[in-house]
Amino acid sequence: MNFLLKRLAFYLVAFLVAATFNFVIPRMMPGNPADIMLANANAAMGPEARAALMAIFGFTEGPLYLQYIDYLKSIFTWDFGTSVKFYPVPVTDMLMQALPWTLFLTGGALLVSFSIGTLLGILAAWRRGTTIDVIASPTALALQSIPSVVVALAGLYFFGIANKVFPTAYAFDPALDPEWSLAFVGSVLTHGFLPIITLSVVLVGGYLVTMRNNMIGQLGEDYIAMAEAKGLSDARVRYTYAARNALLPSVTALALSFGALFGGSLVTEVVFNYPGVGNLLYLGIVGRDFPLIQGQLLIMTLAMLTANFLVDLAYVFLDPRLKRA
């Protein structure tokens, strides 16, 4: 329990620090919501009306510390204000609509890339120097160096435009109503296949290389020699003994990848016009939608901190030394 409370306190402080940066950065950007709305409308507005408009979006002209206090109150009440670009829709409603789609993409991509990369890393280390190692390791290094935008555009062209195998936009067929039906679920999976594979291709190489190096280090330990001397099967030594201990750094990489992928899905969502929070952030940046930008960045921060907290808990179950401590 002490461990849990200490980690929770640490992540609360980290969240407050990130929230402070989230408050300061948009206010350093040129322009403000009222001026942008006036420019788009080609209209004039009196000082009183302009002040009221600024108050709607939470940008009062009072002292900065009072604005910061109001900002913190809005965080803990989960009220991020009203969107500028999509006025009068609340930012919270927009984020809650887009969040499930990004979680679907990132969760699917992490599941596919982590499973394939980890398994191939284990086999490459166990049979190092053989054909699988010679092919898998250089391929993994090559995949790590390819930008996600290149993979997304290549997949979009070859499988979406040239051959028309998969859809090129939206999360599902607009002609379908969102419901738990076979047609709707199939449409969601079909539309999400290319974005998920795009994100997976970028990540799988890192998991493979990390797991391979960790496994090679574990295979030289004395407890592996002892397990083999007892006559245990290769599969049990490989997975129950070596892979379990080699998995710890990969679990850390998984948490970091989740946070990075949550924010990095912006490129993929924009390329495939996928209605996730990444695409929403892009629209908010283009429209100088400060409330939307702040809300989305807070969601990204929470995702990153939550993933790291879950990794801390997973370490306790994976490493018997931490469990005893």
Q: List, in order, residues 6 or more apart from 234 with CB less than 8 Å away.
A: 126
CB contact at 8 A, 215 and 122 = yes
Number of H helices, E strands in the chain: 14, 0
Residues in the chain: 325
- Which DSSP letter does residue 193 get? H
Q: In terms of Cα–Cα distance, which of 308, 313, 302 is closest to 18?
A: 302
Query: pTM (2 decimals)?
Result: 0.76
For residues 137 and 206, the answer to whether their CB atoms sit within 8 Å is no
Radius of gyration of the chain (CA): 24
Dump the DSSP string for 156-177: IIIIIIIS--S--SSSS-TTS-
CATH number of 92-324: 1.10.3720.10
Amino acid sitting at position 153: L
What is the identity of the amino acid at 136? Answer: A
* pLDDT by 10s per residue, the chain, length 325: 676 777 788 888 888 888 888 777 766 766 555 566 556 555 556 666 666 666 666 566 667 777 788 778 878 888 777 777 777 788 888 888 888 888 888 888 888 888 888 888 888 888 887 888 788 888 888 877 788 788 888 888 888 888 888 888 888 888 777 778 888 888 888 888 888 888 888 888 888 888 888 888 888 777 788 877 887 787 888 877 777 777 777 777 777 777 667 666 778 888 888 888 888 888 887 777 777 887 888 888 887 788 777 777 776 666 655 555 5
Whose tokens are 């206010």? That residue is: 27
Phi first, then psi: give them for residue 207, nearest 5 degrees. Answer: -65, -40
Enumerate the domain spans of the chain. Answer: 12-76, 92-324
